[in-house]
Amino acid sequence: YDVLQIDLLGCGDSSGDFAEAGWRDWQDDVHRACRWLRTRSDAPLILWGLRAGCLLAASAAVTLKEAANFIYWQPVVSGKQHWQQFIRLKMASELASGLAKTVSEQLRRQLSNGQSVEIAGYTFSPALVESLEAAELNPPIDLGGRVAWLELSTREGASPSPVSRKCIGQWEAAGGYRLDARMIHGPGFWQTSEIEDAPELIEATVAVLESWQ
């Protein structure tokens, strides 16, 4: 495999500031990365995302000039619901001040006035929030491909949530997509401050890739 892991505009070691980044900028980053890979490899294209990165992968694939396969790790299916999690983070940080109940209204007011908002050390522009809230994990029409849908849980015998099952059904009904949905035992490593491994997720991902050959 030829693997390219990218830092989107304003993220990681990339140029720019997160406050200046927009959804379209990140889609352009995905397209640029695909073009770069295509000059070096003719292997089938796989877009690999974690959480909201799955939303970005699906939306970027719509305007790619080739079909893509997808690996989704704990995919977010609704950008609007995902944004609510950031609001809850902000509310939690304001508990001591007694302002938690007014946080949601205050953030909405700031954004509607064209002002950026700060949550957990990140500055979100109104344009980015608007694009995130509008994002849904919908299958790109008329493309087709393989999809690995891998979710993690620390509970034995866990099953995908009703929201996930509904979205999986939509991808299957879209035609042309072959889904491999699995529940994996492991931690929610993306939400911990310490580095945490999920070896069973790696094993499942490798197994899926091998089954695609």
What is the spatial distance between Cα 160 and Cα 76, in angstroms, rounded to a whole number?
A: 12
For each successive 10 residues of the chain (213 residues), what is the average pLDDT?
Answer: 94 92 97 96 96 98 93 98 94 77 90 95 96 97 92 93 95 93 95 92 97 93
Q: Same domain for 88 and 178?
A: no
CB 146 within 8 A of CB 178: yes
Residue that has been written with the tokens 């302002």 in this structure: 99
Q: Same domain for 57 and 127?
A: no
Q: Same domain for 60 and 155?
A: yes
Residue 99, pLDDT score: 74
Q: Same domain for 161 and 179?
A: yes
Angle between helix 79-93 and helix 126-134 axes, rounded to 10 deg: 130
What is the spatial distance between Cα 18 and Cα 135, in angstroms, rounded to a whole number?
A: 19
For residue 152, the enclosing domain spans 45-78+137-211
Q: Dihedrals φ, ψ of 152, to 5°?
A: -110, 150
What is the spatial distance between Cα 168 and Cα 87, in angstroms, rounded to a whole number?
A: 27
- Give the three-class secondary structure for 117: strand
Q: Same domain for 17 and 114?
A: no
